[in-house]
Structure 1
Amino acid sequence: MKLLRVGPQGAEKPAVLDSAGKLRDLSGHARDIDGETLSPAGLAALAAIDVASLPVIEGMPRIGACIARPVNFLCIGLNYADHAAESGVPLPKEPIMFLKSLGAICGPNDDVLIPRGSTKTDWEVELGVVIGTKASYISEAEAMDHVAGYCVVNDVSERAFQVEREGTWDKGKGCDTFGPIGPWLVTADEVGDPQNLQMWCDVDEVRMQNGNTRTMIFDVRAVVSYASQFMTLYPGDIIATGTPPGVAFGMKPEPRYLRAGQAMRAGIAGLGEQSQRLVAA
């Protein structure tokens, strides 16, 4: 299933994308695309619905973030061997974790705000892993049983805020609109192997990132298990699992960071595409 949320910001309703590419209204069967809906019982109930019997959502409504009210928006840094190489840093010995502000979450096609004072706003297409079952101290062998599905994430980052100022990475990662999610959540049964997904990001229609999840240092199984050793993961939580090479931060000799008026498009095979316009905050 491809699950999404459509409508004005703050008033989105749950929907499903049918096999013909039509949006179908799920609000008669689910409160929202949230932790309850993404539980094994919730997904089983949705799978039993005759999608063709659901009302069609006409027109071109705004698509919101595909998950409502996560408890945690967790990110893994430097998790692609080829991205670590372009950044000129050694491979991490264990996953680098940080939390992205929940206030960064926005719809997949909403405008992205370049923060005031920013000089180095950057893009990062990432595979988002969505938790379906509460996970605490789980093994790698158990990890995939806790995954509800996957989505596209753009881990937008301000590098000067992130690495040149005092403190942790968070101030360069959690700015408003720095977490576009979607367009939809694809359930794990439809994705199959998450370690062989092509992913890309364009800036002004120029391909900047062209990678594959096979070059992850720590795969999805390892990341979910590892994170659960430090915090409880709840249904609806998102883990952004790192980015392949091609970000502005790794450009030589001179990085070309984002400016107001530009546009980004990011996608992952089977998970759809998202696009944003850059505007000044």
Structure 2
Amino acid sequence: MSPGDEHDGYGGSGQTRTRLPEGNTGDVHGGTRRPARGSRSLLMGVGVVVLLVAAIALANRGGEPSDASPSTTTPGKAATAPTGTRPVTGTNGTVPTGHAHDEQGAQSAAANYAVALGSTDMFQKGPREAIVRAVYAPEVVDDLLKRLDASYSPELMANAGLEPNGTAPTDLTFVARTVPIGTKVTDYSEDGATVEVWYVNLTGLAGKGSTKPVTSAWFTSTQKLGWTPQGWRLTSNDEHEGPTPVNGDSRASVAEEIAAAVEQYGGFTYAR
């Protein structure tokens, strides 16, 4: 991730880079956030119907694993179609675990780890440590936690409009949610994988009187994962902006609507 580098990244040498707030904008993950996107067009309506039909079909299969072998080809027109591998078998705190030891499992892990690392819990010391220990390889955890603890300083929290402990002020809802759009394997072996995750990130403070409205931005995260006795674990995580769609014609919702949506709509466990 090129914008918002308040602390050093781990890069390809076992390092990571976490997006943090900067400036006095409503962006709590760095960089300029763009308005929410969408369209009320017929095409969008058809797309939603297609997704619902696919979800129902997957549910009716009962979650049984597919007999097909993991794909090693570049995703094509049906890249977002479910492939059938059971995504996870459990959780480590709030983080899904038990991803399959194959390309699909690596992609599922990468998507779920992107969600965890883009959550509000990363702004609070205890939950942040739990997430980092759940998604990163043990050999990089301790040094990374020291860097993150230094980066998530009281000054940074104040700049994000948060209390020193990383929580939202009274009557406001802190939003930090990552929604993966798709994944792609660029390198794979039995011991490790490199997976790119394309996602949209929502950040800001929702509620009446908020001066840091919730905005959206698009990124691609490049995750290097290693296979450990605990399953797939990150050894590094980097990101860059885009690909970014053109703004749609949806009106921007008022802060109260966004706050209600965040509280009422839960997230997902992702699977390739």
TM beyond 0.5 = no
* Greater fraction of residues in strand: 1
